[in-house]
Structure 1
C-alpha cells in the first residue's frame, strides 16, 4: 500500500475474504494474500481482525507490541450476518486514520422469498429519514432508487437464475431521498442457506458510496435497461414491471408503480391466491404477448381486478423474465 488507507473487505462466505474497495476506489474482489503479498504480518493482522468482526459483529481495535494499530468496523445487514468490514492497518507511529472511511452499507436479497433488507449505513447512504426506515422490503422496492448501468440485464439475469456462488460487481447511480445523485459501487455473492422454511438462496452484498455521480465517469445517468429494451413510454393508466416467471413476483418496476396496488409487502404475493394458475399460464411465455384478468392486492380495497399483459423479456441468451403491463384503466372490470 502507498499509505495506510481504509480497505473495504467482503466476508460474504464460500470464499476467503477479498478486497472490494481501497479508500474511495473500487477493487475487483482482490484476494487478501495478493493485496498484502509484501507483508505477511499485515496479512495475519487483517485475518485476525476479520475473524473477530465476523464472529462477534463488533469493532476491533488492537495495537501490537511493535506499535502497529489495526482497526476493523463490521458491516452487518438486518439479518445479522457480517457482509464485510472497513479495515485499517497503520505502521509504527501511525496513531490512527487520517480521514474517516466512506459510507458503505450491507444488504441482502433473498432470491427465494423476494425479501430484501439493508443496514442502517445503507439507509444513511440513501439519506432516508429515520421515520421511514424498515428492516425488510419487497425486492421491487429496492430498485426504485437505482439507475442501472449497461450491466443491468446481466444483474437481473443472475437474480432470476439464483445460482449459489454467483458474483456481481458494478457501479450504479443512487438517487438519494433528498435528490442527491451518488455513484455507488456494489459487490455481491449468492449463497445457499438452510432455514426453517427450507433451502433458500440469498444474495449478500455491500454498497460503497464512492462520490457524487457527476464526478464518476462510470456512474450511469440514464436507466440503460429501460432505454434499450423498452422503447415506448407507458400509456396513461398502465404500469410496467419486470416479473420473475417462476413466482410471479416483481423484480423491478419500469414505470412508477400504481398507488392503488399494495405491491410492497415483503414475501407476500401481489396476486390473489386463487389466481395462481392464471399467473402461471400468463408467464408461460410460449405465445408471445398474453393478456389475462387477475386480482391484485389493493390499497383501498382488498383486491382489485385488472388486465395484465405479459410478454417475454430476454435478459441474456439463456434467461427470460416476463414484462407485465398492468392496465389500471380496466380496474374493477
Structure 2
C-alpha cells in the first residue's frame, strides 16, 4: 500500500469487505486478503478496524505494541447502517495524513418502497445547502443530478430486477446544486432485509468524489446516444419517465418533471389507489403503445387527471421497463 494514502472500503454485506478506492483512484471491489496479500498483519489490523466501525459506527484509532497505527472513519447512511469506511495504516514514524481524504458518502436505495436516503457526507458532496436536506427522497429524485454513462441501462435494469447480490460500479458525473460538475465513482450491492412489512430489497452504496469532471476522462460529459434520441423527440407539455412495471413507481425522469405533479414524496404511490388497474393496464407492455387517463397526486390539487401513454423500454436483453409520456396539457383537477 502506498504510504500516506487512505483506502476506501465497502462493508455492504453478503461478502467480506472489499477495496473500492485508493486515494482518489477507484478500485473494482478488490478483496482485502488480495490487497494485503504481502502483509497479513495489516490485513488483521484492517479487519479489526472494520469490525469496530461496523458494530458501533464510531471512528477507530489504535496503535499496536509493535508501533503500527490504524485509523478508520465510518461511512454511515441515514438508516444508521455503516456502508464502509476510510482506512489508513502506517507506522509511528509515519505522520497521520496531513491532507484529508476525499469526500465520500453512504446511501441506500430501497428497491421495494422506492425510497432513497443518503448521508450528510453525500449531501456535502452534492453541495446541497443544509436547510434543504431531507433524510428520505423518492428514487426518481436521486437521478436528477446525475449524468450517466453508457452503463445507465444496465444500472436501471438492476433496479428493476431487484436481485440480492446484484452489484454495480460506475463513474458518472454529478451536477452539484451550485452547478459544479464532479466525477463520482459509485459502488453498490443489493441485499434482502426482513422487515415488519415483509422482505425488502435494498441497494447499499457509496459515492466517492474523485475530482472535477473535466479532469477525469471517464466522467460522462454528454448523454449517451439513446438518451439524446429521447431528448430530441421531447414535446412541450409532455414529461417522460422510466417506470417500474411491477409497482408503477417512477425510476427516473427523462424530461424535467412537471411542476403540477407531486411526484417526489418517498414511499407512497404517485397514482390514485382506485387507479391501480389502470396502471396495470398501462404496464402490460404489448407491442403497441397504450394510452389511458390516470389520476396523479397534484401539487395544488389533491388529484390531477392526466393522459398517460405507455410503451416498452428495453433496458437489457432480459429486462423491460415502461416509458410513460405524461401529457399535462390534458390535466383536469379533482
Alignment correspondent of 2:57: 57
**In structure 1, distance between residues paired with 2:39 and 2:155:** 36
- Decide whether aligned partners of structure 1 residues 225 and 133 sit closer, same or farther in structure 2, where only a CA change above 3 A counts: farther
Alignment correspondent of 2:213: 213
Secondary structure of the corresponding residue to residue 326 of structure 2: strand
Alignment correspondent of 1:316: 316
Q: How does 1:186-201 map to 2 (within 5 A)?
A: 186-201=186-201
TM-score, normalised with respect to structure 1: 0.98
- Decide whether aligned partners of structure 1 residues 21 and 212 sit closer, same or farther in structure 2, where only a CA change above 3 A counts: same
Q: How does 1:1-333 map to 2 (within 5 A)?
A: 1-224=1-224, 226-227=226-227, 230=230, 232-332=232-332
Q: 1:286 offset after TM fit, Å?
A: 1.2
Secondary structure of the corresponding residue to residue 54 of structure 1: helix
TM-score, normalised with respect to structure 2: 0.98
Deviations 1:221-277 (A, max 9, x none): 122265355253311100000000000000000110000100000011000000000
**In structure 1, distance between residues paired with 2:181 and 2:153:** 22
**In structure 2, distance between residues paired with 1:68 and 1:96:** 12
Large movers: runs of 4+ above 3 Å: none
On the 8 A contact 2:231/2:255 being kept in 1, the answer is no
Q: 1:121 offset after TM fit, Å?
A: 0.2
Bigger mean CA deviation after superposition, 89-98 or 254-263: 89-98
**In structure 2, distance between residues paired with 1:248 and 1:223:** 25
**Number of aligned pairs?**
333
**In structure 1, distance between residues paired with 2:72 and 2:196:** 32
* Superposition CA RMSD, Å: 1.1
Deviations 1:279-325 (A, max 9, x none): 00011011421110000000000000000000000000010000000
